[in-house]
Amino acid sequence: MSRLAFVFPGQGSQFIGMGQDIARSCPQAREVLGLADQAVGFPLSELMANGPSEVLRQTVNTQPAVVAHSLAVLAAVRARGLEPYVVAGHSVGEYAAVAACGALGVEDVLRLVHRRGHYMQQASEMQASGMAALIGADLKSAEALCAAVSVTAPVQVANLNSPGQVVISGAESALNEAVRRAADFRIRKAIRLEVSGAFHSCLMEPAALRLAEDLRRTPLQAPRVPLVANRTALPVTEVEELRQVMSEQVVSRVLWEASIRHMLDMGVTHFLELGPGAALAGMIKRITTEALVMSIQDTPSLDKAMQQF
């Protein structure tokens, strides 16, 4: 018997036109985008549809846009009768997973995500910072590189995405030094990412503190299906634990490879990436060849996926 995981992408997967095709073909998806506009207090769906791209790329807008698209796709998938055995999301995608597991409604999730983006953008403006992907790195080489360049400013491992791909995060000066010296640590390539700050690092502590306060006031429900958390790579089933991992996630490592491996151990046979892009599907395919992995972001990709069920 197949076991299905829904996984949700994070920041960096956004594009102009996101969500529009699925909304045209599915009234449930269209309703989600309307709720998103209400939740954030401005026409987010119009920004998703038409840009401009420099405004969509701003963290305060990108994060709710990505989650809104993911939740619109989720609504369309559910309208076709599919439900998950387990859920997970990469970075801000974890908030889409919170909605998917039934712990929080669409509007409340999007309000939280909008605040999260605002807090993280403000934290990013306090110090020049960023992220870089290390291709051909493992945890040991990435940590050695970070230690070597963190004498005067912090750089740390942020994401363990898949075999041979580690993302580091930190202050601009030290991050540039890490990119320059990556080859010294037998890392094949270091690529700066187009993000506005050092996400999942200690530089996001101001955002984590403000988000924790918001989460204390948020009436979460116990997940109806397990959510495998970025911070622990383990299922969360209790409200207080969910509240904790959501607030701590912005300063913690994203243990994505370990999360996927845990879901495989749970018996997952099918992974559906719901939302913009196909980055997670690519990562999962590098982790396992045993499961069926597909991305759904529009009506044609949904139709194709449904042929497997």
Share of the chain above pLDDT 70, in %: 100
Expressed in percent and rounded to 5, the helix, strand and coil fractions of the chain are 50, 15, 30
Residue 82 has pLDDT above 80, yes or no: yes
Residue 94 near residue 73, CB atoms below 8 Å = no
Cβ neighbors of 112 (< 8 A, separation 6 or more) are 95, 104, 211, 214, 215, 218
- pLDDT value at position 279? 96
Q: Domain locations in the chain?
A: 4-124+202-306, 128-192
Helical (H) or strand (E) element with 129: strand 129-135
Q: What is the mean pLDDT of residues 178-206?
A: 96
Which value, in Å, is the radius of gyration of the alpha carbons in the chain?
18
- pLDDT value at position 192? 95
Share of the chain above pLDDT 90, in %: 97
Residues annotated catalytic, as ranges: 91, 200
The yes-or-no answer to whether 4-124+202-306 and 128-192 have a common fold is: no
292-296 sheet: strands from edge to edge: 235-236, 227-228, 86-89, 4-8, 270-274, 292-296
CA 270, CA 6: separation in Å to the nearest integer?
A: 9
pTM of the entire predicted model: 0.96
- pLDDT value at position 195? 87
* pLDDT tens profile 249-261: 999 999 999 999 9
- pLDDT value at position 194? 85
pLDDT band at 196 (very low <50, low <70, confident <90, very high): confident
- pLDDT value at position 155? 98
CATH 3.40.366.10 applies to domain 4-124+202-306: yes
**CATH of range 128-192; options 3.90.550.10, 3.20.20.70, 3.40.50.2300, 3.30.70.250:** 3.30.70.250
